[in-house]
Amino acid sequence: MKTNIISTLFHPYIVSDLSAVEATAARNPPPTSPAFPPLPSPIPKPSSPLRRSTHRSAMTLGSSGAGSSVVVPRNFRLLEELERGEKGIGDGTVSYGMDDADDIYMRSWTGTIIGPHNSVHEGRIYQLKLFCDKDYPEKPPSVRFHSRINMSCVNHETGAVDSRKFGVLANWQREYTMETILTQLKKEMATPQNRKLVQPPEGTFF
């Protein structure tokens, strides 16, 4: 009986103390754990050797420099030359383009040279015909002047450039282009043996 009385007497205080503890906990919640930092993104895997190799080959294929390790196919090479010819070369005194845009073999071309200064050719406009056969650029194109001209390396009857007398054709290399031919012919006009030669009337053709 005594025990029950004591329990009854102390029970309100126990309940009261518990309520106080709960109220304190509500006012001061326990600190939350700090958020974990985000995981770093996975390191990207390097490209496969095959993909890198293909990329390098594509870049090399588009170039036609002497250091190229890939032989550029004939038509790709001629397309590059066509694009360069359309953009213009240097000071504009040398240019070239296709004769027939429908020719899938891209064989017939017309070149133009404006004669160099300090020579009998100064100010004259010379037209040339270049023919790139199917073995170009392994072998040089045939070149002949359409406009009449008097030069040591040009046949006086046909206008054909004699490969034996013109160094670029005589020592042809695959890296040479139609631009190389036209540029060197212009320089040939200014050489001592050609720059003072009497010329046919301007505007006449072979």
The structural domains of the chain, with segments of one domain joined by +, span: 74-190
Q: What is the pLDDT of residue 115?
A: 97
Q: What is the pLDDT of residues 171-185, one digit of tens each?
A: 999 999 999 999 999
Q: What is the pLDDT of residue 51?
A: 37
Which phi and psi angles does 202 have, rounded to 5°?
A: -65, 140
Q: What is the pLDDT of residue 179?
A: 96
Q: What is the C-alpha to C-alpha distance for residues 148 and 125, in angstroms, rounded to an integer?
A: 10
State how far the alpha carbon of 206 is from the alpha carbons of 99, 107, 125, 151, in Å.
Answer: 18, 21, 14, 14
Q: Look at the alpha carbons of 133, 139, 144, 145 in this order and tell me if their dihedral is positive or negative.
A: positive
Give the predicted TM-score (pTM) of the model. 0.67
- With a cut of 70, list the residues of the chain below it in pLDDT: 1-69
Q: What is the pLDDT of residues 101-134, one digit of tens each?
A: 999 999 999 999 999 999 999 999 999 999 999 9
Residue keyed to tokens 């990207």? 44
Enter the tokens of residue 108: 């017939």
Evaluate whether the domain defined by 74-190 bears CATH number 3.10.110.10: yes
Closest CA to 94 of 105, 107, 109, 106: 109
Q: What is the C-alpha to C-alpha distance for residues 47 and 107, in angstroms, rounded to an integer?
A: 41
CA-angle at 150, arms to 146 and 155, nearest 5°: 65
Q: What is the pLDDT of residue 37?
A: 52
Other C-beta atoms within 10 Å of 65: how many? 8
Q: What is the pLDDT of residue 90?
A: 82
